[in-house]
Each structure stands twice: as C-alpha cells, then as structure tokens.
C-alpha cells in the first residue's frame, strides 16, 4: 500500500512542487523555511555536511547521485513518488492544481485524470480549466518569483503534451497552442533565473509549436522574449534583429504584441547609444499601446500585464541606457507609482532601475534610500537581475559618494 503524505511540511504545495520537479535546492530551502531548521540540522537528517547543504541550495552543486537523492528523500520524510510521479502522494493529476485555488468539479477532475491515464478523448472543459490554471500560475509568479513554480509547470506541460494523442480536430490545435504557452512560460522562468541555454531551448520549442498551431501572437512573443534576453545580456544588435523579426515576420499579431516588439527594438537601439532611432521607435510604440489599451479584450492572455503604464517603465529603461538620468527618474517614478503591489518581482526590478537612475543623476541620498529599501525583495524574488542591478548602482554610488556606496554594499552583504 502506498504511504500517505507525511504530516507537517509535506502538506505544503510549494514543497511538493519542488520535489515533483526534482529541484533539490528548492526542496532544501523550502523545507528549512517551513520547519525553521538550520542547514546544519538538515545536514544531520540527510547525512550531508552543512557546506554541502548550502551548495545544493545555492545551485553550486547538482544532485546527480541516486544515493544522495535517496538520503534526501528518506532523511526529510518526503512522500513516496515511485508510483505515477506526482500522483503517488494523492495529489491531483497536475501538480500545480494544489496552487490554483478552487479547482474544477469532481466530474471535470475525473476527466482530466482519465485523459492522462488512458488517452480518453480531450474535451473543451478540460482545456478551459488548464487555460485558467496557467493564467493563475502566471500571476503567482509575479509575487513568488519563478523558482518555486518551475517544477509545477514542467509537470503541467507533460500533462498537456500527453493529451495530444487523444485530441481531435480543433481541440488538437488548442492542445498544441496550450503547449506553446506553457513552453513560453517555462522559457521566461529559465530566463528569469539566468539559465540562458534552457531559456533559448524552451523559446525555440514554443515558437515551433506556435507556428504549428497557427498562433501568430505567441510566435511573435517568443521572438520578443528572445530579444529581451539578448538585451539583458548586453547584445544590442541581436536584440534589435529579433525584435524586428517579431514586428514583421508574424503578420496578424495583436496591437499589444506589436507594441511590445516595437519598444523592444527601441531598447536595443538605446543600448547601442542610438538615441534618435530609440526615441522614434518609442514614440511609435506608445501610439500602438494607446490603441491597444482601447480594446484589452483583443490581447492574448499572457499580455495581461502590458499597459500604457507598463510602457512608461519600458521607456524609463531605454532612457536609462541613454544616460538621460533626469528623464529616466521621472518615467520610472511615474510608472512605479501606478504599478500594483502584486507585481512584487517586477516592482523590485524597476525600483533597482530607479535607484540606478538617481545615482547617475547625482541624487545619491535618494538613490541609497530606494536601493536599500528594495534589497529584501531583490534578494527574495529578484535574483539575479535585480540583484545585479543593485550592484551596478552600488558601483555608481561609490564613484559619486564613497560613503553611501559602502552603505549599499554593506546592505547587500547582509543578504548574500
């Protein structure tokens, strides 16, 4: 008989998701957070030194040995996952259902399980439910950051792919489209964690599936996000080329997707120091986004965050690249004032950009105040991008005001 879930921390969906995704760093971090145990104590439970636990948590050591995996599972009292993976401990067929709030009725839940287990016919209600689940996970990632959700989304994508064999007609196209959206989300989360190769592989898979499903919006979005990745790595020319490909190679995209591609090209030109072209494209993008805002119902669901206010923040980042510090401060301040608090990860990022702009403008006291206030969120949900931007700000502050630069460095060290 299968063992029932262990009481205590193993009833928590975030810990189960980490275990389901074999993310052992997340398993150890979440287990310690839920139990209050130190790395030393956890090491005693699983037969590892404290330094080994620390290295696994920080991603400096990968768990590849079956012996170590067995020690981790046994020592932490993890539920048995040998039968049917995630469903061995009685979870719903998709691990992410535990995070999704109210689930479907019992009949719909049974249909999802039947589809996965026996290749029964897929129906529209099942796919509607998975659409809603994906939308909820996107919004959860805004608050939690990407790391806790990776294992969940990998399992969810496996469920979607398993449905393809039993889908017929238009429903088969919907399954492929849903798989493309899941792959794009996984790519974004890999990019958020600075896993460049994994992100590119997922974007390529998402793009392929989007083309197969005839989804121009997702095909263009994957190119947009690859442009964003190039921008984040300082590859300005590649950023521009990919953004231009998103603008012109996928006809029929929504205004919002088109506006995103246009501002992405502008940011690439700004990174190259080409102010005139950057401002021209930013003005074009702003006009497109204003039109898109008149009919938000026409936008694909993953564009829920993109709005004229969000565009103001994008303009602020481009202006920051052009070293127009005062304008960047104004734009980032205006955008942040209207950004909802639930966008915790993104709010941390734009606040670090604001701190950088203030430091560049010589407003060192304000820069230090903004930077130190955002350090906890940047450490919790903003690594590595927000965290790296804070280090850049510390360097700018050190040049302009060594004492304040040292203060920020000290604040960062407290969270390292």
Minimum mean pLDDT range among 80-84, 182-186, 189-193, 345-349: 80-84
CB-based contact 32:39 (threshold 8 Å)? yes
Each residue's pLDDT tens digit, 296-343: 889 999 998 888 899 999 999 999 999 999 999 999 999 999 998 888
CB-based contact 174:167 (threshold 8 Å)? yes
- Of the two residues 406 and 92, the one the predictor is more confident about is 406
Q: State residue 8's pLDDT score.
A: 62
Q: State residue 4's pLDDT score.
A: 33
Q: From residue 46, give the alpha-carbon distance in Å to each of 225, 316, 362.
A: 40, 48, 51
The percent of residues in the chain predicted with pLDDT above 90, rounded, is 49
**DSSP per residue, 277-341:** HHHHHHHHHHHHHHHHHT-GGGS-GGGTT--HHHHHHHHHHHHHHTT-HHHHHHHHHHHHHTS-T
Q: State residue 351's pLDDT score.
A: 97
If pLDDT is split at 50, 70 and 90, which confidence band does 89 have? very low
If pLDDT is split at 50, 70 and 90, which confidence band does 120 have? low
**DSSP per residue, 347-402:** HHHHHHHHHHHHHHTT-HHHHHHHHHHHHHHHHHH-TTHHHHHHHHHHHHHHHH-H
pLDDT above 90 for 116: no
Q: State residue 320's pLDDT score.
A: 96
Each residue's pLDDT tens digit, 357-369: 999 999 999 999 9
Count of alpha carbons within 13 Å of 201, Cβ hemisphere only? 5
Q: pTM here? A: 0.71
pLDDT above 70 for 283: yes
Q: From residue 382, give the alpha-carbon distance in Å to each of 6, 192, 348, 350.
A: 32, 8, 7, 10
pLDDT above 60 for 98: no
Rounded to whole angstroms, how far apart are CA atoms 414 and 376? 10
pLDDT above 90 for 210: yes
Token pair of 410 as six digits: 């000290």
Q: State residue 388's pLDDT score.
A: 93
- Of the two residues 101 and 208, the one the predictor is more confident about is 208
Helices and strands counted in the chain (H then E) = 20, 0
Mean pLDDT of the chain: 84
Q: State residue 101's pLDDT score.
A: 35
Q: State residue 80's pLDDT score.
A: 59
Q: State residue 260's pLDDT score.
A: 95
Q: Is the dihedral of CA 343, 348, 351, 357 positive or negative?
A: negative
Token pair of 243 as six digits: 């953004």
Residue 123: how many CB atoms within 10 A of its CB? Answer: 14
Q: State residue 14's pLDDT score.
A: 66
């Amino acid at each position: 008989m299968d063992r029932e879930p262990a009481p205590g921390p193993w009833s928590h969906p975030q810990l189960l998701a980490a275990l389901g995704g074999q993310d052992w760093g997340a398993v150890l971090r979440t287990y310690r957070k839920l139990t209050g145990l130190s790395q030393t104590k956890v090491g005693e439970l699983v037969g590892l030194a404290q330094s080994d636990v620390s290295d696994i948590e920080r991603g400096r050591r990968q768990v590849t040995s079956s012996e170590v995996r067995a020690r981790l599972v046994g020592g932490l009292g993890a539920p048995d996952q040998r039968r049917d993976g995630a469903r061995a401990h009685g979870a719903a067929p998709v691990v992410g259902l535990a995070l999704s709030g109210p689930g479907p009725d019992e009949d719909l839940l049974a249909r999802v399980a039947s589809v996965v287990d026996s290749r029964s016919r897929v129906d529209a209600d099942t796919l509607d439910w998975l659409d809603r689940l994906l939308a909820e996970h996107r919004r959860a990632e805004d608050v939690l950051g990407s790391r806790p959700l990776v294992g969940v989304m990998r399992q969810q994508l496996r469920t979607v792919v398993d449905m393809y064999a039993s889908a017929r007609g238009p429903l088969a196209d919907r399954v492929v489209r849903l798989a493309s959206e899941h792959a794009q989300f996984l790519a974004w989360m890999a990019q958020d964690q600075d896993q460049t190769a994994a992100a590119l592989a997922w974007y390529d898979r998402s793009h392929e599936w989007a083309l197969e499903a005839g989804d121009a919006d997702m095909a263009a979005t994957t190119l947009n996000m690859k442009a964003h990745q190039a921008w984040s790595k300082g590859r300005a020319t590649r950023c521009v080329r990919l953004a231009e490909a998103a603008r012109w190679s996928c006809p029929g995209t929504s205004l919002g997707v088109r506006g995103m591609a246009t501002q992405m090209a502008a940011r690439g030109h700004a990174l190259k120091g080409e102010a005139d072209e950057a401002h021209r494209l930013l003005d074009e993008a702003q006009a497109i986004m204003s039109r898109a805002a008149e009919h938000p119902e026409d936008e694909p669901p993953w564009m829920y965050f993109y709005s004229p206010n969000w565009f103001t923040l994008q303009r602020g980042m481009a202006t920051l690249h052009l070293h127009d510090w005062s304008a960047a401060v104004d734009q980032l301040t205006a955008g942040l004032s209207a950004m909802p608090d639930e966008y915790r990860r993104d709010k941390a990022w734009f606040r670090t950009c604001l701190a950088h702009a203030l430091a560049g403008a010589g407003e060192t006291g304000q820069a230090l105040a903004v930077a130190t206030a955002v350090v906890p969120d940047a450490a919790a949900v903003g690594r590595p991008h927000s965290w790296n931007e804070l280090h850049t700000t510390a360097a700018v502050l050190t040049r302009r005001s060594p004492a304040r630069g040292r203060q920020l460095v000290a604040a960062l060290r407290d969270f390292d």
